[in-house]
Structures are given as structure tokens and as C-alpha cells.
Amino acid sequence: MSGSTAAPAGGDRVTAALAWLRRRLTGEYEVDEFGFDPDLAQRVFLPTLRPLYRHWFRTELIGADRLPARGPALVVANHSGTVALDALMLAVGVHDATGRHLRLLGADFVFRTPVVSELARKAGVTLACHADAERLLRSGQLVGVFPEGVKGVGKLYRDRYRLQRFGRGGFVAAALRTGSPIVPVAIVGAEEIYPRIGDIRPLARLLGIPYFPVTPAFPWLGPLGLIPLPSKWLIEIGEPIDTRERTGDADDPLLVFNLADQVLETIQQALHRLLRQRPDPFGW
Amino acid sequence: MGSGHQSAGVVVVTGVSRYLGAHVAGRLRADPRVGHVIGLDAAPPPADLAPVLDGVELVHVDLTRLTTVIDHLAAQTVVHLGVVTAPDPSAGGRAAMKEQNVIGTMRLLAACHQAPRLRKLVVRSSTAAYGASFRDPAVFTEDAEPLEVPRGGFARDILDIEGYVRGFRRRRTDVTTTVLRLAPLIGSAADTTLTRYFTQPVVPTVLGRDPRLQFIHVDDALDILHRAVVEDHPGTYNVAGAGALTLSQAIRRAGRIAVPVPEQALSAVAATARRFGRQGPAFDQLDLFVHGRVVDTGRLVTEFGVTPRTTAEAFADFLRANRGRAPLARGRVLAAERALLTVRERIRSARGTG
């Protein structure tokens, strides 16, 4: 369905906005089999997040040229910040540097939660499972994964920048099986946005979420406590790890664990280095 | 692998009093590779399907009371399409549907087991076989196992049916068994719960959920069922149009208005409808509208050598035949857009002159 038939002429912003609105209202856009809506991502999600990335967190992207311009790759990053804003900021950084959409893998509670699940799917997120990760990689996508998962985002402020265990290393197996390079990424800054000092367990259980965070501002200041602190962010893209020659290693648990540890170690060292570059978490 | 253009001999088709069964039987009747076509159903076909069944021998039997008829008919091929997808309140509701699907299939397969001349079995299954869970992958391949037992009656029946077919496969390794997992049928001629849903002016959806849907065009489904009989394609296949539409997108393309309703309210209505055996939003629909369902069709495309119309194309064909009462039809949206631009032009020129 092309939206151009009998569309009113004119090249200005109002005309373009109205034409876009008409296309949205009549369903004339494409969604892929994962539910990713590139038109919505490009015109709504990314423009909404970009001011946060550029002006609120003053994010610096280091080594963007190491991101592959085409073909599959598995981008592996550390996870933190109580709310998974780091994943969204990484997606903005990757998109603006390469023009490619980072297809994130999310925990199942994301898909259990109404509204959130649908926003996630439209933004290109899918469930962190072998089938989806490998399908995306086989179709040549750039896939983003946070192997620490909920343990990483939900850790306490005193544990900041200490990487948690990398799950069962499933992400490594997915990369090996599809021969996709693994790109380690270190993110500094997300740990300070909602410094979590506690947890209200009964409330978390009631709401069906992994934890109910307590920060110096939340829930005491109400909605004000939801504003992330304006920390300074550094995102460093590491040297890609080639896996093309190692496709057979995917079924050897020991080799998988070793490679997962190697990725973890690389990211941990990069974090230490970046923290020295950024002595003041809230500086410019 | 798919070739084997030998005669399919005597073909028995179940469920010929319904659209899919009648049309498959009719197509097979017209195919010179097929010897003789016998249609089984408990009820006589409705008047509109009778011409389609011209030349097909009709045998009125209730599948749930079937004994040795398959061998008596000298069947070499059985095509099992007598699977009911939604309860019919005028024909016994959900209880009758389950009887027909589960007991009917069990009896039919028992009869097939006792038929030494049988060479081929083709069973209509559904993509509902993958169940509905939040831990499901986005795209199901044929080897995916259901993680949670679905709430919907039809989906539960499908799990039972596939279980019986697995048992049959193990015991009768000499029979080429093909299981076709069909996505919801759509097209200009389809009349299902889902197509009726999309022709209402205002359609209920689940609040906070926008599932991915997939369809198979009826004509493509008929072609694939036909090929499964006259060619040899042992195994289980997803039968769907590639790609997906989200429910909101499909509603917008249809020019309908979505009314989001909390899931709890819809479950309560579905539970009441089930208890009183009335037609209404069933749990099958609810599961689909919460979880969505998209399957991989790579195996079908390579093994059958056919590429069905994509989900978007199949849906567009359905819309061409069912424009009906669309409150937000594309023409109206375009007219509103033009009106807004005209108003702006007028304001501009008024400012320019004044």
C-alpha cells in the first residue's frame, strides 16, 4: 500500500505531518514478524529519547566505528540503573552512529506487562530466548543483549559498576551458532540515574515486578522521584570478537562459558577505565 | 521431499459439510490423479456447498461413532478436515465441538489404524497448537513445544488431536502422515469468527495489548491441502502467509474503530459465555488477542514449493470483498485531511489579503 495515491500536494511540515497521521490512521505502514514498527521508532520513539541522550545525560559514544555497518552482530553490554534506560540510550547511540536499529532482547516480565509489552515490541524488542536471538541474527540484524538481566538493572547503588554473572551464557551460543561477531559495550552513567538503596518486596510481589525500588527520591517525592538524575554518560564500543571459525563450539558448555567470561572481563576492564575518565558522575 | 505424482487412489475427506472440507473434496474430484473421492460428514452439506460437491460420493456417518468404515471404503488416503474451530450454539455448543474434535479424531485414527490399504493421512491442525505464553518466542517454528496449556477450547482440542496423530505416526510408519497447522483463514470467501469480527464497525480489543496476527488466504490453504494429498510431504508444516499485521494495524486498514476493554472484563464475559454455551468472545480469541501468534513458513515454502499470499495481501483481499460499514474508511480519512489543508489555505490567503 503506497500512501501517495491522491495524497494532497504540498511540501511543508504541516502537510507532511498530516500525511503521516493519515498513514498511521489507515494502517499504511509495515510491521515485521517481531512486531517492530520502524516508522514509529524513527518518528516517535527515537526523537523522544534523543534529548535525554544528548542534553540530559550528555552522552559520549566512544569507538562507534567498531559497530559493523552491515550484517549481523551481537552487541553485549552491562546493565544498570533500576529502570532499563541504558538499553534505550544505547539504541539511540547505535542508531545515530550507524543508521541501524538495535534489536534489543528483553526479559519475559516485559512481555507480561500490558502496554509496556506492546511499546517494547513496536520499538523492536523481543523476548531474550535462543529462537528469537538466532532468528534476528540470521536475518542480519544488530541485536542488543544485557546478559546480567534483572540482576544487573536491579542491583543496589553500593554494587555499582560491578558486573553480575552473565546468566547461562546463552547469548554466546546464539552468536556462535549464527557466526555473528560479539561486540562488547561498556556503559558508564546509568548506575547513578536512580541510585537504588532498598526494595519494598511486598509491593513488588503485588505488582508482579522483580523489585519495587527505593531511591533517595522515590517513592518519597512521588512523581518527582521518577526524574532520572542527570549523570554524565560514556558508552564505549569495544573491539568485535569474531566467531565465524567457532560455529562448532556452541554445543561445548565449557567453551561457551569461557567466551562469556572473556566478554565479561573485557567489559569490566573498560568500565574501570571509563570511570577514571569520568571522576565526577555529575560533571560535564 | 515433494514430487511423487502417482494416483492418490480412493480419497476419504471428512467434514465435507463445511467450507474447507467441501472445497478440498471438490478440487480433488476435479484432479485426474485422484481416483475416487468420498466425503464423510454427519450432516448433509448446506445448499450453497452442494454444487461444489458434485461428483463426490457422500457418506453420512458421525465420526464419533466411526468403526471400520475407512477399510470398508477401501481408502488409500484420508484427509481429516472434520475439525470444528468454534462452538455452534445451534448444534450443541462447546460440548458437541469437543466431542467432534477429540472423540471424532480418536475414532477416525483408530479406524485408520485398522485399514491396511491406507497409504496417506492428511490432518488439518492449527497454529493454535503452540499454546499461548509470555515466554513464547516471537516466531514459532514447527519444532516449538507449547509452554503453557491454552485457555481456549479449540486450542486444547488441537493439542489432543496432534497427540493422537503422534501416536498414529508411531504405530503406522508405513502411512505418509502430513499435519498442516493452518493460521486463521481469511479471504474474500472466508466466513469465520475472526472475519465476522473485522466486519463489525466497532471492535473490542484487549486494553494494553496489540497482538501480532497472521492469516492464510483460503485459496492458498485449499491449494496446499490439495497438494498434500496428490504429492508426498510427510511431516508437520506451518501454513500461513509470511509477515504479520498487528491487530491495531489490521483494524485501521479495515477502517474500523477499536474499543480497548480490560482483559479481566473480557475473561468474565468469555467464562459466562462458556458456562451458558452461548456464542461470544471465546477464550481462543482472547488468547490470540493477548499473545498474538506468528509462525515461520520456511519449511512449507521449501518442501511444498509454494509461497502463499502474505498476511498483508490476504487481509487486503478480504477487505476488498468486505468494505461494508467502515466508519474510518480510507476515503473518509483522506477527505478529512484534504478539508484540514483547505481550511489552512483559506486562513493563509485571508491573512495574505488582509
Evaluate whether B222 touches B27 at the Cβ level (below 8 Å). yes
pLDDT higher than 50, residue B263: yes
Q: What is the mean pLDDT of chain B?
A: 91
CB contact under 8 A, B212 and A35: yes
A35 and B138 in contact by Cβ < 8 A? Answer: yes
A52 inside domain: yes
> What are residue A33's DSSP bridge partners?
none
CATH of domain B9-333: 3.40.50.720
Q: Given this model, what pLDDT does residue B63 score?
A: 87
A141 pLDDT more than 80? yes
- Cα B241 from Cα B224, distance rounded (Å): 12
Hey, is the C-beta of A18 within 8 angstroms of any chain B C-beta? yes
- Pick the residue of A118, A119, A134 with the most B CBs within 10 A to test the interface with B by mutation: A118
Q: Residue A254: helix, strand or coil by DSSP?
A: helix
For residues B347 and A36, the answer to whether their CB atoms sit within 8 Å is: no
Residue A238 phi, psi (nearest 5): -90, 175
* Residue-by-residue DSSP string for B1-64: --------EEEEEE-TTSHHHHHHHHHHHT-TTEEEEEEEESSPPPTTTTGGGTTPEEEE--GG
Average pLDDT score over residue span B262-280: 79
Please report whether residue A203 resides in a domain: no
Q: Chain B contacts of A29, Cβ < 8 Å?
A: 249
Domain membership flag for residue A13: no
Whether the per-residue pLDDT at A1 is higher than 60: the answer is: no
> How many Cβ pairs closer than 8 A exist between chain A and B?
103
Q: Does A15 touch chain B (CB under 8 A)?
A: yes
In a domain, A199, yes or no: no
C-alpha span between A142 and A100 (Å, rounded): 7
**Domain definitions of chain B by residue range:** 9-333
Spell out which residues of chain B touch residue A35, defining contact as CB-CB under 8 Å: 138, 210, 212, 244, 246, 292
| Domain assignment of residue A107, given as a range | 32-193+228-277
pLDDT of residue B279: 60
Question: What proportion of chain B, given as a percentage, has pLDDT over 90?
Answer: 67
Residue A223 lies in a domain: no
Given a contact cutoff of 8 angstroms between Cβ atoms, the answer to whether B258 and B328 are in contact is: no
Q: What is the model's pLDDT at position A5?
A: 44
pLDDT of amino acid B278 = 62
Nearest CA among B223, B195, B220, B225 for reference residue B125: B225
Residue A180 has pLDDT above 90, yes or no: yes
Domain assignment present for residue A11? The answer is no
CB contact A139 to B (< 8 Å) = no
Does A34 contact B138 at a Cβ distance shorter than 8 Å?
yes
Cβ-defined contact of A35 to B246 (cutoff 8 Å): yes
| Of the partner residues A22, A25, A31, the one whose CB lies closest to the CB of residue B246 | A31
Q: Give the total number of structural domains in chain A.
A: 1
Examine residue A90 and state whether it is found in any structural domain, yes or no: yes
pLDDT one-digit tens code per residue, B176-200: 999 999 999 999 888 888 888 998 8
In a domain, A265, yes or no: yes
At residue A9, does pLDDT exceed 60? no
Q: Which of B81, B127, B120, B88 is nearest to B104 (CA)?
A: B81
Asked if the C-beta of A196 comes within 8 angstroms of chain B's C-beta atoms, the answer is no
Q: Of A238-252, B121-135, B267-281, which has the strongest mean pLDDT?
A: B121-135
